[in-house]
Homo-oligomer: A and B are copies of this chain.
């Protein structure tokens, strides 16, 4: 009895303490620090839809924190090169980064799950995996070992398959094709006989023009149009089956993240969510207009032949088995990811597929 009465008192005491704790942050407001962070992006400003995401994040965070938390933005190459963003955040060269995690498959192929893997999830399914399907926890567990806290921030939607100088009718037509394509996608293409080429953005157009390469994949109509690929390659293939829903990410140095006041963490996380929706929305609007212009200018839109898709999918699944045997991190994520993918396909093939198929078939292409 006495012990119980003691416990009762103790719990009242705790409750009072809790009230005090709730009130405390109000008093502590004036103590919130003024911060000026650097963010290094993997992208140039010319990829304006991608770059706009970090402009949005910086602006929203600044507003939400009354101007106290400022994020300075640096385009690719200004502080570190495009593919060095992860290391720059890991090592604390900058507090934050913006990147596409599949740039780091050389460190571990598991990084690709944070962005896109061939024959993976579409944009909405990728968000479902990250927000509600356990994906974010799995990815944070990986990034933690690289001293990084990652936040999803944007998606392009399914990308195009790229620009080809010649028509592709069979799998045999892929053999020996020199294509600018990298990462896991490059390895899948390699299994079909494509000779993958890595080159920086500035070198792609002249290489395609001269015929040094036969094909190039970049992003989608809006971003591709700026390069003028349509002037030197006639066929524009879809879909980019290696990038069905590529997600962009914000990286934050883990120590810096942990030092942030809860208020700033929340402002940053939610600003990234706003930019996440905005990027997909912007691409969905800009790509239509660009596609119209390209087609009006003579570009031939072509769907990859089914046999190419089937062969590429088989090559992809084989590659995943090879990765699983070789990379424990990949294997650990691939298992639950594969189950999630199968579940999503099951659900989307019912109502979403039925609706989309009907309305798209009723609309004419103009």
Across the interface, do A354 and B127 meet the contact criterion of CB distance under 8 Å? no
Across the interface, do B30 and A34 meet the contact criterion of CB distance under 8 Å? no
Interface segment, A36-44, A157-165, A192-200?
Answer: A157-165
Inter-chain contacts of A309 with B (CB < 8 A): 358
CA distance A340 to B126 in the complex (A): 25
Across the interface, do A26 and B34 meet the contact criterion of CB distance under 8 Å? yes
Across the interface, do A159 and B351 meet the contact criterion of CB distance under 8 Å? yes
Across the interface, do A366 and B353 meet the contact criterion of CB distance under 8 Å? no
Across the interface, do A352 and B122 meet the contact criterion of CB distance under 8 Å? yes
| Interface set, chain A 326-362, CB cutoff 8 A to B | 342-360, 362
Across the interface, do B351 and A365 meet the contact criterion of CB distance under 8 Å? no
Interface segment, A72-80, A81-89, A226-234, A270-278?
Answer: A270-278
Looking at the assembled complex, report how far the CB atom of A87 sits from the nearest CB atom of chain B, in whole angstroms.
29
Taking the complex as formed, is A267 at the interface, i.e. its CB lies under 8 A from any CB of chain B? yes
Given A131-B281, A273-B273, residue A345 in contact with residue B360 (CB < 8 A):
yes
Give the oligomeric copy count: 2
Across the interface, do B358 and A342 meet the contact criterion of CB distance under 8 Å? no
Taking the complex as formed, is A313 at the interface, i.e. its CB lies under 8 A from any CB of chain B? yes
Q: Residue A29 contacts which of B32, B276, B366 (CB distance < 8 angstroms)? A: B32
A interface: dominant SS: helix
Given A26-B34, A64-B270, A67-B22, residue A355 in contact with residue B281 (CB < 8 A):
no
Given A284-B124, A284-B125, residue A63 in contact with residue B263 (CB < 8 A):
yes
Given A64-B64, A128-B284, residue A240 in contact with residue B351 (CB < 8 A):
yes
Taking the complex as formed, is A167 at the interface, i.e. its CB lies under 8 A from any CB of chain B? no
Across the interface, do B131 and A277 meet the contact criterion of CB distance under 8 Å? yes
Inter-chain contacts of A90 with B (CB < 8 A): none
Looking at the assembled complex, report how far the CB atom of A361 sits from the nearest CB atom of chain B, in whole angstroms.
8
Across the interface, do B351 and A131 meet the contact criterion of CB distance under 8 Å? no
Query: Smallest CB-CB separation from A366: which chain B residue?
Result: B346
| Interface set, chain A 227-284, CB cutoff 8 A to B | 238-241, 244, 261-263, 265-267, 269-271, 273-274, 276-278, 280-282, 284
Contact with B along A43-85 (1 / 0, CB 8 A): 0000000000000000010011111100000000000000000
Contact with B along A214-230 (1 / 0, CB 8 A): 00000010000000000
Looking at the assembled complex, report how far the CB atom of A134 sits from the nearest CB atom of chain B, in whole angstroms.
9
Across the interface, do A263 and B348 meet the contact criterion of CB distance under 8 Å? no
Interface segment, A106-114, A139-147, A204-212, A285-293?
Answer: A285-293
Across the interface, do B67 and A25 meet the contact criterion of CB distance under 8 Å? yes
Taking the complex as formed, is A94 at the interface, i.e. its CB lies under 8 A from any CB of chain B? no
Across the interface, do A63 and B132 meet the contact criterion of CB distance under 8 Å? no
Given A281-B133, A347-B287, residue A353 in contact with residue B355 (CB < 8 A):
no
Across the interface, do B30 and A281 meet the contact criterion of CB distance under 8 Å? no
CA distance A278 to B130 in the complex (A): 9
Inter-chain contacts of A304 with B (CB < 8 A): 354
Most chain B CB within a 10 A radius of its CB, from A270, A281, A309, A343: A270
Given A63-B266, A273-B276, A347-B288, residue A239 in contact with residue B365 (CB < 8 A):
no
> 6 new A-B pairs (CB below 8 Å) besides A124-B280, A273-B273?
A119-B359, A132-B281, A220-B351, A238-B355, A273-B276, A348-B356
Chain A residues proximal to chain B, CB less than 8 Å: 22-26, 28-30, 32, 34, 60, 63-68, 119, 122-125, 127-128, 130-133, 157-161, 220, 238-241, 244, 261-263, 265-267, 269-271, 273-274, 276-278, 280-282, 284-285, 287-289, 291-292, 301, 303-304, 306, 309, 313, 342-360, 362-363, 365-366
